Amino acid sequence: VLVRNTVLADLVDDMKKVGLQATPADHCYAGPEDVACDFCTDRKLKAFRSCLQCLVSYCEQHLKPHWDFPALKKHKLINPSKKLQENICSKHGELKAIFCRTDQQCICYLCSLDDHKDHSTISAAAERTERQKQLTPSRQKMKQQLQDCEKDVKLLQEELVAISRSADKALTDSEKTFTELIRLIESTKSLIKQQIENQQKTEENRVKKLLEKLDKEITELRGKDAELERLSQTEDHIEFLHMFPSLSGPEERAETSLPKQRTRRYFQDVTEMISEVGNKLQSFLSQDWPRVSRAVANPDVLLPLEELTVRAEFLKFSQPITLDPNTVNMQLVLSERNRRATYRSIKQMYPAHSERFQNRSQVLSRETLTRRHYWEVEWSGNGAFIGVAYKTISRTGDNSEFGKTDKSWVLLCSESLREFRHNNSITQILGPQSKRIGVYLDHRAGLLSFYSISEAMSLLHRVQTTFTQPLCAAFRAYHGLASQSTAVFLTFSTERRRFTITSK
């Protein structure tokens, strides 16, 4: 009689419960871009989950204890991550489970007792929960901006369709009319084609001449500026006094005839004129032909301004900007030919002037901005307000503060805060941190854009509005929560084409 082998029987029962595991398919093994299981000894499988407590990634097989054992069930499992070791303190080897609000970084428990002893700390989970709440309005704002962009895209697509339909209709109607009257107007059809080509060449030549004139003017101005720079540094008093009268000031610019925005009629005038031709052929040939010629020469199509994307394109619109000593607050000191401003805690003894800001450490540019302009501002320390304002902004009281009323548009930049302010409304700004901010203004198009300038140029915030007055570049020192005195330096470099703000 055979005796039952209990060990073998138990092993068979276990195998029946677990089942024979099939060899994993090739796609289950970890590749170069995948997170590998830390427990696989031979060829590693793809990680199924990562554990924030164990700081280890597991495949589905090795993750089973986390589902079976009560103590492990409490562990926090996340999608596979390659950055688990970044959660370990390099100094103490402990989990970074605490957030230091003073230094704005994650630390471990031992760090909170050592280097961050007197700092304001909170658990990383609690700080995440609090910051998570801030994401909701930011995402809502971003979604609204996305909807606005999609709406603009739809409008532009409808614009393209309207232009295409209008042009197609004009071509169809004119072709029909010319076909019906082919014997009478064949020569006229060739004539109008020639007129369009001639008009195109005429307009192109006009624009090219304007470009040549402006290029020549730019070259002359740069030459005069270089001569003035050389003259300002010469030690020969006689040469300076001899040359100064001819170089001391630029000549008045002649008004340039640039295209203006008009009603968008496209080719409708052409269609109407040609329709009349079919009904009044004899009159058309003798009297009305000049009207059709004028309609073809002026189709009233408004082309959109190009979208600038490269910093070199923006720099084409840069120009020297100086600070207005009549507007500078008494806690700012101007130097370097009014291209540098320094904040002082002690007020300066400036003469009284109706243009001077009384209650805020801010200043306007001397130049007024009415066309396309671009400048860059570098800041450090506590930060700065950067933007534009109407010259008619109040000089005293709360209404004089940039961003408080509808007369100024400014971006606040600091180490821990970035906001856009206008008409007492504040918008939190997300984007790459940078010590250099680019400002692009298209006054006639009502466009104001702020860019983060580093190795790449990233859009931070854009405003589309209607500017009703000339603007000035606006700057203000930001003190934040610091109790000590703050020094702010604002400079502009012609060669580098940017302002510099430094706080100490």
For residue 131, being part of any structural domain is answered with no
Domain presence at residue 413: yes
Position with higher pLDDT, 393 vs 169: 393
Any domain includes 430: yes
CB 106 within 8 A of CB 121: no
Q: Is it the case that residue 379 has pLDDT exceeding 50?
A: yes
Residues 385-407, mean pLDDT to the nearest whole number: 94
The mean per-residue pLDDT over the stretch 193-201 comes to: 69
Q: Which residues of 437-454 are buried (b: 16+ CB within 10 A; e: fewer)?
A: bbbbbbbeeebbbbbbbe
pLDDT for the residue numbered 264: 44
pLDDT tier, 490 (very low <50, low <70, confident <90, very high otherwise): very low
Give residue-wise pLDDT tens across range 297-323. Answer: 445 443 344 456 688 888 888 878 889
pLDDT higher than 80, residue 482: no
Domain that holds residue 352: 307-490
- Coil, strand or helix: which one is 431? coil
pLDDT over threshold 70, residue 294:
no
86 falls within a domain: no
**pTM to 2 decimal places:** 0.41
Q: Encode 90-116 in three state secondary structure.
A: CCCCCECCEEECCCCEEECHHHHHCCC
% helix, strand, coil for the chain, step of 5:
40, 20, 40
pLDDT tops 50 at residue 328: yes
Lowest-confidence range among 35-49, 444-458, 488-502?
488-502
Count of the separate structural domains present in the chain: 1
pLDDT over 70 (residue 157): yes
Half-sphere exposure (Cβ direction) of 341: Cα atoms closer than 13 Å: 30
* Within-domain flag for 316: yes
Tokens of 345: 């805690």
Instruction: Give the range with max mean pLDDT: 4-8, 47-51, 183-187.
Output: 47-51
Average pLDDT over residues 389-411: 94
* 168 in a structural domain: no
Question: Is 100 a member of any domain?
Answer: no
DSSP string, 344-398: -SSPP-PPP-TTS-SSSSEEEBSS-B-SEEEEEEE--TT-EEEEEEETTS-SSSG
Q: What is the Cα–Cα distance from 63 to 472, expressed in whole angstroms? A: 63
Interatomic CA distance for residues 104 and 106, integer angstroms:
7
- Residue 406 vs residues 435, 441, 450: alpha-carbon distances, Å: 27, 17, 18
- Contact of 449 with 420, CB cutoff 8 Å: no
Q: Can you tell me the distance from the alpha carbon of 43 to that of 59, in angstroms, rounded to the nearest whole number?
A: 12
Distance between CA 296 and CA 273 in Å, rounded?
9
What are the CB-based long-range contacts (under 8 Å, 24+) for 148-151? none
Each residue's pLDDT tens digit, 263-279: 445 445 656 676 677 67
Higher-confidence residue of 35 and 82: namely 35
pLDDT, residue 251, reads: 64
Read off the tokens for 265. 């009629």
**Mean per-residue pLDDT, 459-479:** 90
pLDDT winner (highest mean) among 183-197, 232-246, 392-406:
392-406
CATH code of 344's domain = 2.60.120.920
Q: Give CA–CA dist 136/143, Å, rounded.
A: 10
Contacts for 337 with CB less than 8 Å, ≥ 6 apart: 322
> Counting runs of H as helices and runs of E as strands, what totals does the chain give?
11, 20
The whole-angstrom separation of Cα 473 and Cα 362 is 11
Whole-number pLDDT of residue 307: 53
How far separated are the first and last CA of the chain, in Å rounded? 97
Does residue 457 form part of some domain? yes
Is the pLDDT at 33 greater than 50? The verdict is yes
pLDDT at residue number 355 = 94
**Which residue type, as a one-letter code, is found at position 219?**
T
Q: Taking residues 23-29, what's their average pLDDT?
A: 68
